[in-house]
Amino acid sequence: MVNSRGNIGLHTGRVALHRLLLVLVACLCLGSAFGQEVKVFVSSEDGDRLTPKPALHFQPQPAKAGSVYTIQTGMRLQKMVGFGASFLEAGMVCLSDLPPVDQEAVLRSLFDAVKGAGFTAMKTPIAGTDFMSAGPYYTYDDTPGDVEMKHFSIQRDLRPNGVITYFKRARKYGKFVLQSPMDYPPDWMLFDVWHAAEETRTALRFCRWS
């Protein structure tokens, strides 16, 4: 029968051996990383097309004095409204590819304050964004010269994959503020720098539209 001192000594020896092995593995990993060769390939406008470049190697860096940041907890200058992300048509398209149960699980995980991330500050662009679905590109009035906005429509945003549908579904799980910037106006509202005659008409279009 092994006495208690023998058991203690055997346990201590195993712990020491385990720690030694960890140190050796760490040293080997660091040594392997520092000696590892990194192959570089470049594609650029200058004509490179996956062109091999001189190899690089990981090297230990000399220690540098870090920056010092002082947080004054007693002084409050800004109010944090919340955290969140963007409602985009492309995101709704991806969400719709999931089974209905999983769709609700994703929305709950994002907006539920108890069972999820609890997003409280969201953004959605006013049409004309490059994060729409596969196409076609659209704005709320694609009729050239329609300065009276007679053809203005948000119908696309009301579709099953539209952004309005997106944030209405999200509101089932939480409350959030919504910012709506305009990414891009209709093309017919833009000033054509090559035709000076358009300058006056374009200015009037912007004024009437805004």
User: What is the average pLDDT across 140-166?
Assistant: 90
User: What is the average pLDDT across 177-185?
Assistant: 81
Between 118 and 1, name the one with better pLDDT: 118
Side chain identity, residue 13: G
User: What is the average pLDDT across 186-191?
Assistant: 76
> pLDDT tens digits, residue range 84-100?
999 988 889 889 999 99
Total length of the chain: 210
> pLDDT tens digits, residue range 30-65?
455 556 788 888 888 888 888 898 988 877 777 777
Task: Please give the pLDDT value at position 6.
Answer: 42
CA dihedral 184, 186, 189, 191 (to 10 degrees): 60
Between 138 and 165, name the one with better pLDDT: 165
**Could you give the C-alpha distances from 31 to 18, 40, 128, in angstroms and in order?**
20, 21, 52
Rg (C-alpha) for the chain, rounded Å, is: 30
Least Cα distance to 160 among 101, 61, 93, 62 occurs for 93
Pull the structure tokens for residue 141. Answer: 């009035």
- Which residues does 189 contact at the CB level (< 8 Å), separation at least 6? 202, 205, 206, 209
The pLDDT confidence band at residue 153, using thresholds 50, 70 and 90, is very high
Mean pLDDT across the chain: 77
> pLDDT tens digits, residue range 121-137?
999 888 877 667 656 77
On the question of pLDDT at 1 being above 70, the answer is no
